[in-house]
Chain A
Amino acid sequence: MANNNMNLKLRIWRQAGPDKPGKLVDYTLDNVSPDMSFLEMLDVLNEELMKKGENPVEFESDCREGICGNCGSVINGIPHGGQHRTASCQLHMRHFRDGDTITIEPFRAKAFPVIKDLVVDRSAFDHILKKGGYISVNTGSAPDANLLPVAREVADQAMDSAECIGCGACVAACPNASASLFVSAKISHLARLPQGQPERKRRLIRLMEQMDEEGFGNCSNQAECEAVCPKGISIANIAKMRREYFKALRGGE
Chain B
Amino acid sequence: MIFNGKIPEGDPLNGRVPEGPIEKRWEKWKNELSLVAPANKKKHTIIVVGTGLAGASAAASLGELGYNIKSFCIQDSPRRAHSIAAQGGINAAKNYTNDGDSVWRLFYDTVKGGDFRSRESNVYRLAELSTEIIDQAVAQGVPFAREYGGLLANRSFGGALVSRTFYARGQTGQQLLLGAYGALLRQIDSGKIRIFPRREMLDLVVIDGKARGIVTRNLVTGEIESHAGEAVILATGGYSNAYYLSTNAKNSNATAAWRCYKRGAYFANPCYTQIHPTCIPVSGDYQSKLTLMSESLRNDGRVWVPKEKGDDRRPTEISEDERDYYLERRYPTFGNLVPRDVASRAAKAVCDEGRGVGETGRAVYLDFSDAIRDNGVEYIEEKYGNLFEMYERITGENPYKVPMRIYPALHYTMGGLWVDYNLMSNIPGLFVLGEANFSDHGANRLGASALMQGLADGYFVIPYTVGDYIAREKPEKVSEDHDAFKESEKEVKETTRRLLSVKGKKTVMEFHRELGHLLWDNAGMSRSENSLRHVLEKIPELKEDFRKNILVPGEADDWNKYLEYAGRTADFLELGELIALDALNRDESCGAHFREEHETPDGEAQRDDSNFSYVAAWEYAGKDKIPILHKEPLKFEYVEPSQRSYK
Residues of A participating in the B interface, judged by any CB pair closer than 8 Å:
1, 17, 33, 35-37, 39-41, 43-44, 46-47, 50-51, 54-56, 58, 60-70, 83, 85-86, 90, 92, 94, 115-116, 119, 121-123, 125-126, 129-146, 148-152, 155-156, 158-159, 162-163, 165-166, 189-190, 193, 195-196
Known contacts: A63-B84, A92-B396. The answer to whether A43 contacts B288 by CB under 8 A is yes
Q: Apart from A17-B558, A63-B249, A142-B138, what are 4 other A-B pairs with CB-CB below 8 Å?
A: A62-B82, A68-B82, A123-B197, A163-B171
Q: Is the CB of A134 within 8 A of B559?
A: no
Contact partner of B57 among A68, A94, A115, A139, CB < 8 A?
A: A139
Task: Tell me which residues across on chain B come within 8 A of A139, comparing CB atoms.
Answer: 57, 60-61, 64, 136, 183, 459-460, 463
Tell me the smallest distance from the CB of B559 to a CB of chain A, in Å. 4
Q: Is the CB of B140 within 8 A of A134?
A: yes
Q: Is the CB of B182 within 8 A of A135?
A: yes
A141 and B75 CA atoms in complex are apart in Å by: 30
Known contacts: A63-B249, A139-B60, A148-B138. The answer to whether A162 contacts B220 by CB under 8 A is no
Q: Is the CB of A115 within 8 A of B559?
A: yes
Q: 8 tightest A-B contacts by CB?
A: A134-B182, A149-B150, A142-B139, A142-B135, A145-B138, A159-B143, A139-B61, A62-B249
Contact partner of B284 among A33, A130, A145, CB < 8 A?
A: A33
A68 and B77 CA atoms in complex are apart in Å by: 10
Q: Is the CB of A70 within 8 A of B80?
A: yes
Q: Which of A44, A133, A143 has the most CB of B within 10 A?
A: A133
A224 and B182 CA atoms in complex are apart in Å by: 27
Q: Is the CB of A151 within 8 A of B150?
A: yes
Q: Is the CB of B562 within 8 A of A56?
A: yes
Task: Tell me which residues across on chain B come within 8 A of A43, comparing CB atoms.
Answer: 286, 288, 509
Q: Is the CB of A62 within 8 A of B150?
A: no
**B134's closest neighbor in chain A, by CB?**
A145
A70 and B79 CA atoms in complex are apart in Å by: 10
Known contacts: A58-B561, A139-B57, A143-B135. The answer to whether A67 contacts B171 by CB under 8 A is yes
A-B contact pairs, 26 of them (CB 8 A): A50-B507, A51-B551, A54-B553, A56-B554, A56-B561, A62-B249, A63-B82, A65-B289, A69-B80, A85-B389, A122-B76, A130-B186, A132-B189, A133-B185, A134-B185, A135-B141, A137-B136, A142-B139, A143-B135, A143-B139, A145-B135, A152-B150, A158-B143, A159-B168, A162-B175, A189-B141
**B252's closest neighbor in chain A, by CB?**
A62
Known contacts: A134-B186, A142-B135. The answer to whether A86 contacts B393 by CB under 8 A is yes
* B647 CB-CB contact with A under 8 Å: no
A151 and B153 CA atoms in complex are apart in Å by: 12
Q: Is the CB of A155 within 8 A of B182?
A: no
Q: Is the CB of B79 within 8 A of A62?
A: no
Interface of A is mostly: loop
Contact partner of A90 among B64, B147, B249, B393, CB < 8 A?
A: B393
Tell me the smallest distance from the CB of B2 to a CB of chain A, in Å. 32
Q: Is the CB of B140 within 8 A of A137?
A: yes
Q: Is the CB of B143 within 8 A of A64?
A: no
Contact-size category for B: 35 or more
* B174 CB-CB contact with A under 8 Å: yes
Q: Is the CB of A130 within 8 A of B189?
A: yes
Tell me the smallest distance from the CB of B198 to a CB of chain A, in Å. 9
**B459's closest neighbor in chain A, by CB?**
A139
Task: Tell me which residues across on chain A come within 8 A of B152, comparing CB atoms.
Answer: 145-146
Task: Tell me which residues across on chain A come within 8 A of B325, comparing CB atoms.
Answer: none
Task: Tell me which residues across on chain A come within 8 A of B134, comparing CB atoms.
Answer: 145
Tell me the smallest distance from the CB of A170 to a CB of chain B, in Å. 16
Task: Tell me which residues across on chain B come within 8 A of A47, comparing CB atoms.
Answer: 507, 509-510
Task: Tell me which residues across on chain B come within 8 A of A130, comparing CB atoms.
Answer: 185-186, 188-189
A87 and B105 CA atoms in complex are apart in Å by: 41
**A16's closest neighbor in chain B, by CB?**
B558
Q: Is the CB of B85 within 8 A of A65?
A: yes
Contact partner of B249 among A55, A56, A68, CB < 8 A?
A: A68
**A122's closest neighbor in chain B, by CB?**
B76
Task: Tell me which residues across on chain B come within 8 A of A156, comparing CB atoms.
Answer: 143
What 1/0 flags go to B138-162 for Cβ under 8 Å of A? 1111011111111110000000000
Q: Is the CB of B141 within 8 A of A193?
A: yes
CB contact list, B231-286 vs A, under 8 A: 249-251, 283-284, 286
* B578 CB-CB contact with A under 8 Å: no
Tell me the smallest distance from the CB of B282 to a CB of chain A, in Å. 10
A123 and B195 CA atoms in complex are apart in Å by: 11
A69 and B189 CA atoms in complex are apart in Å by: 23
**A151's closest neighbor in chain B, by CB?**
B150
Q: Which of B94, B288, B291, B558 has the most CB of A within 10 A?
A: B288
Tell me the smallest distance from the CB of B593 to a CB of chain A, in Å. 27
* B639 CB-CB contact with A under 8 Å: no
Task: Tell me which residues across on chain A come within 8 A of B562, comparing CB atoms.
Answer: 46, 50, 56
* B132 CB-CB contact with A under 8 Å: yes
CB contact list, B270-312 vs A, under 8 A: 283-284, 286-289, 291-292
* B96 CB-CB contact with A under 8 Å: yes
Contact partner of B189 among A125, A131, A146, CB < 8 A?
A: A131
Q: Is the CB of B286 within 8 A of A44?
A: yes
Task: Tell me which residues across on chain A come within 8 A of B144, comparing CB atoms.
Answer: 145, 155
Tell me the smallest distance from the CB of B20 to a CB of chain A, in Å. 24
Q: Is the CB of A64 within 8 A of B64?
A: no
Task: Tell me which residues across on chain A come within 8 A of B148, comparing CB atoms.
Answer: 152
What 1/0 flags go to B382-394 for Cβ under 8 Å of A? 0000000110011
Q: Is the CB of A36 within 8 A of B284?
A: yes
* B169 CB-CB contact with A under 8 Å: yes
A17 and B289 CA atoms in complex are apart in Å by: 29
A46 and B396 CA atoms in complex are apart in Å by: 26
* B32 CB-CB contact with A under 8 Å: no
Task: Tell me which residues across on chain A come within 8 A of B57, comparing CB atoms.
Answer: 139
Tell me the smallest distance from the CB of A146 to a CB of chain B, in Å. 5
A139 and B558 CA atoms in complex are apart in Å by: 39
Task: Tell me which residues across on chain B come within 8 A of A83, comparing CB atoms.
Answer: 393
Known contacts: A36-B284, A50-B507, A133-B185. The answer to whether A67 contacts B77 by CB under 8 A is no
Q: Which of A41, A67, A119, A143 has the most CB of B within 10 A?
A: A67
Tell me the smallest distance from the CB of A149 to a CB of chain B, in Å. 3
Tell me the smallest distance from the CB of A211 to a CB of chain B, in Å. 15
Tell me the smallest distance from the CB of B386 to a CB of chain A, in Å. 9
Task: Tell me which residues across on chain B come within 8 A of A137, comparing CB atoms.
Answer: 136, 139-140, 183
Contact partner of B288 among A39, A86, A196, CB < 8 A?
A: A39
Q: Is the CB of B139 within 8 A of A141?
A: yes
* B359 CB-CB contact with A under 8 Å: yes
Q: Is the CB of B82 within 8 A of A155?
A: no
Known contacts: A139-B183, A152-B150. The answer to whether A162 contacts B84 by CB under 8 A is no
* B178 CB-CB contact with A under 8 Å: yes
Task: Tell me which residues across on chain B come within 8 A of A41, comparing CB atoms.
Answer: 286
Known contacts: A129-B185, A136-B186. The answer to whether A150 contacts B459 by CB under 8 A is no
Tell me the smallest distance from the CB of B9 to a CB of chain A, in Å. 40
Task: Tell me which residues across on chain A come within 8 A of B178, comparing CB atoms.
Answer: 162
Q: Is the CB of B151 within 8 A of A146?
A: yes
Known contacts: A139-B57, A139-B460. The answer to whether A129 contacts B174 by CB under 8 A is no
Q: Is the CB of A195 within 8 A of B139?
A: yes
CB contact list, B549-571 vs A, under 8 A: 551, 553-554, 558-559, 561-562
A70 and B250 CA atoms in complex are apart in Å by: 11
Task: Tell me which residues across on chain B come within 8 A of A66, comparing CB atoms.
Answer: 390, 393
Task: Tell me which residues across on chain B come within 8 A of A190, comparing CB atoms.
Answer: 141
Q: Is the CB of B561 within 8 A of A133?
A: no
A62 and B291 CA atoms in complex are apart in Å by: 12
Q: Is the CB of B84 within 8 A of A68?
A: yes
